[in-house]
Amino acid sequence: MTKSMAPRCPEVLAFGEAMVEFNQSQPGSPQYLQGFGGDTSNFCIAAARQGARTGFVSAVGDDHFGRLLLELWRREQVDTATVRVDRSAPTGVYFVSHGEHGHAFDYLRAGSAASRYASGELPLEAIAAARVIHLSGISFAISASACDAAFAAIDHARANGVRVSFDTNLRLKLWPLARARAVMLEALRRTDICLPSWDDVTLLTGHEERDAIVDALLDCGPVVVALKLGKDGAYVATRDERRLVPGFAVEALDATGAGDCFGGAFIARIVAGDDPFTAARYANAAAALSTRGYGAVAPIPEADAVRALLEG
């Protein structure tokens, strides 16, 4: 199936894990509010809200939480044809507790449907028909089988002319730094567009200066690096040019998922034909707006709101 023959296929796919979130309503409270998490899922929703045709590659359990996630994606117009329902494993969940020292996270993901995902389950036709496939460090970190599947997805994408987008999203609770470095180096060698965060790449590269960081990343293989700098914007580099793209000042309440929103908006605009610097300005605006509410999903802005900020 060629890309021109598949107009309804997702143009942006993401491979990874989604979970149901229970977020403590306030410090010390026994009440937890239900929500959704998962960096690649957040990415997909952000891209979809900017107008991209997106699909998610993952697995959920045949349980209430899995059905909630499927309903979420369908509401958000994220294609679920590539989400497998595993009848012998649960959907992962996690809890966010709040205290005087900040947030604490407790994950129940061992043996989850997403962590059991294997290479033989990949939707090869959908991957070949996409224009971009996106993965994160978590896509590789959650299990050995998921790591193998992530590399297989990348290799199949590249063999079919599909660009690879990668967000480092380093989580040292999931794997030791040495292992993360080794795996991410291999991933970067097969990556076209790298969307790292500052804290991740200072650890991964050992550098503290942004030009040294992007030099190290570009040397690995990507042709575009958009280094996320939070409220300061993004430092965008190609082989020929690099530029600081400033952020947007907003009254921020919660930065949860802002980096995922940036990534989804950035790739949506790349697919729409923007150059990386124009795409980064748009993504900075989307990410800024996403911090004006609580949670990772609900505050992700629609394209009209992003345009209004850009033109305001």
pLDDT, tens digit, 9 for 90 and up, residues 101-139:
777 888 999 999 999 999 999 999 999 999 999 999 999
State yes or no: pLDDT of 238 exceeds 80: yes
User: In terms of DSSP bridges, do strands 163-167 and 132-136 run parallel, antiparallel, or are they unpaired?
Assistant: parallel
Q: For residue 231, count CB atoms less than 10 angstroms from its CB and return exposed for 0-12, middle for 13-18, buried for 19 or more.
A: middle
Pairwise CA distance, residues 210 & 213, whole Å: 5
State yes or no: pLDDT of 99 exceeds 90: no
Place of tokens 């082989």: 239
Q: What is the pLDDT of residue 140?
A: 98
Q: Which of 241, 272, 257, 233 is nearest to 132 (CA)?
A: 272
Please confirm, yes or no, whether 254 is among the known catalytic residues: no
Is 153 within 8 Å of 181 (Cβ atoms)?
no
- Among 57-61, 108-112, 157-161, which is the least confidently predicted range? 108-112
Q: Which of 62, 254, 260, 304 is catalytic?
A: 260
State yes or no: pLDDT of 6 exceeds 60: no
| pTM (predicted TM-score) | 0.95
- pLDDT bin (cut points 50, 70, 90) of residue 3 is low
Pairwise CA distance, residues 126 & 207, whole Å: 38
At 243 the three-state DSSP class reads strand
- pLDDT bin (cut points 50, 70, 90) of residue 8 is confident
**So what's the architecture of 12-311 in CATH?**
3-Layer(aba) Sandwich (3.40)
State yes or no: pLDDT of 5 exceeds 50: no
